[in-house]
Amino acid sequence: MSETLELEKITNEFPEKIDGIKKALENLIVTESKVAEFKEKYEGLTIVDRNDKDGYKAAREAKSVLVKTRTSSEDDRKLTLKPIDELRDNVHNRFKSVQDDLKKIEEPISKQIKEIDDIEEQEKEQKKLEAEKKINDRINCLLENGMVFQDGYYIIKNDELQILETSIGVVDIRTMSDDLFKNLLQIVIDKNAKIVSEKERVEKERIAAEELKAENDRKERELFEQQKEQMRLQQEEMDRQKEQIETQRKANQQLITIARQNLLEALGFSFYGTIYEISYKGLSYKLLHEQVENLTNEAWLLNIGEAEKVISQINSQKNIDAEESKKQAEIDKRENEKRIAQQAIEDENKRKQEEKEKAELELAQADDKTKYESILAQIKALQVPDFKSNIYKNKAKIIKDFIADLK
């Protein structure tokens, strides 16, 4: 009864609300027609400047009309939407109330249905898991007995042992009966036993071969270690002998070096820090100290041979220089003797000249008697040589007699 009254109330109110909406829409249509009119009338309206009183007045009037029309249109909009919003809210709340009431009735029923459905789903899942487990158990059993998965099939075979292939697909494993699977499994077990047995035999042979090889390797290693130890001892002995030889070689080399140094010294070489050298007037021969120490005997003798050639040239040059020096000394001596003799002659002549000049001076200053006696003395001092021819002998006798008669 209450539901009928509520429906009548909504229905009675609806025509009144519809009339209000209709009136507002009619006003909207009138306003829309006025928009075109106002656009044509006011769109070109302008105020020239602040002195344009008529333009300003017309603009104020136009604004008043436009504002009034716009605000009236907003009132009509609100008036139109209000009853619609109220009706929408009323309808929404009524439908929601009905749906909530129905849901309260529905939920306990749905809960019972879900409980039954969950049980059935669990049973299905359990059966599925059991089926999958059965399949997995079958597959694991086949794998444990030697089967391998290859190209979509589980197979067992061994070509070397001539064991033919037995294979089965996943679908067959899933669908075959327990008896058929039992027969298949027995076949797989028998084939795998043969394969395993043969592999064990081969493995034993391999292990035995490896053990034999390991033993042989051990013996070879022992022999190698023994040989290695012998070689080490031999090497140590060789190194010891080599060291002795090297020590002796160094000692011999030191003696050789001393002997070589003595030889160089005897040959006239001089030592300048790191070089032995003999040189004379552009002739030269050099030997490094390192060469003296390290040259082989053959190389040393070759160098000494070359050095002796240079030394021979040096000695020849020295002999030539000595001969020339001797000749020059004799020349210098003769020249000196000549110079001394010449000097003596010059000194004697000078003395005589001085004595002569002195005598002449004294003579010039002396009296006649002294002058005569001086001349007489000079004549008597005259030496008359012997002559071979009679003519000159006679002439010489005349001179001698003349001198003897002088008083």
Domain-embedded: residue 24: yes
Q: Are residues 302 and 359 in the same domain?
A: yes
Q: Of the candidates 76, 102, 122, which is a domain's last residue?
A: 122
Q: Are residues 277 and 311 in the same domain?
A: yes
Q: What is the pLDDT of residue 1?
A: 44
Q: Are residues 9 and 115 in the same domain?
A: yes
Domain-embedded: residue 151: no
Q: Are residues 360 and 404 in the same domain?
A: no
Domain-embedded: residue 258: no
- The total domain count for the chain is 3
Q: Are residues 117 and 38 in the same domain?
A: yes
Q: Are residues 93 and 16 in the same domain?
A: yes
Q: Are residues 354 and 293 in the same domain?
A: yes
Q: Are residues 93 and 69 in the same domain?
A: yes
Residue-range definition of the domain harbouring residue 381 = 368-407
Q: Are residues 290 and 347 in the same domain?
A: yes
Q: Are residues 116 and 19 in the same domain?
A: yes
pTM recorded for the entire structure:
0.29
The full 3-state SS of the chain, as one line of letters, equals CHHHHHHHHHHHHHHHHHHHHHHHHHHHHHHHHHHHHHHHHHCCCCCCCCCCHHHHHHHHHHHHHHHHHHHHHHHHHHHHHHHHHHHHHHHHHHHHHHHHHHHHHHHHHHHHHHHHHHHHHHHHHHHHHHHHHHHHHHHHHHHHCCCEEECCEEEEEECCCCEEEEEEEHHHHHHCCHHHHHHHHHHHHHHHHHHHHHHHHHHHHHHHHHHHHHHHHHHHHHHHHHHHHHHHHHHHHHHHHHHHHHHHHHHHHHHHHHHHHHHHHHHCCEEECCEEEEEECCEEEEEEHHHHHHCCHHHHHHHHHHHHHHHHHHHHHHHHHHHHHHHHHHHHHHHHHHHHHHHHHHHHHHHHHHHHHHHHHHHHHCCHHHHHHHHHHHHHCCCCCCCCCHHHHHHHHHHHHHHHHCC
Q: Of the candidates 90, 122, 154, which is a domain's last residue?
A: 122
Q: Of the candidates 100, 122, 144, which is a domain's last residue?
A: 122
What does each of the 407 residues of the chain score in pLDDT, given as a tens digit?
A: 444 545 455 555 556 667 767 777 787 787 777 888 888 888 888 888 888 888 888 888 888 888 888 888 888 888 788 877 877 888 788 888 878 877 887 788 788 888 878 888 888 888 888 878 888 888 888 888 888 888 888 888 777 776 777 788 878 888 888 888 888 888 888 888 888 888 888 888 889 999 988 989 998 898 888 888 888 888 888 888 888 878 887 787 888 888 888 988 888 899 898 899 988 888 889 989 888 888 888 988 999 899 889 888 988 888 888 888 888 888 888 888 888 888 888 888 888 888 778 877 776 787 877 777 777 777 777 787 888 888 888 888 888 887 777 75
Q: What is the pLDDT of residue 15?
A: 64
Q: Are residues 335 and 373 in the same domain?
A: no
Q: Are residues 287 and 393 in the same domain?
A: no
Domain-embedded: residue 390: yes
Q: What is the pLDDT of residue 13?
A: 57
Domain-embedded: residue 231: no
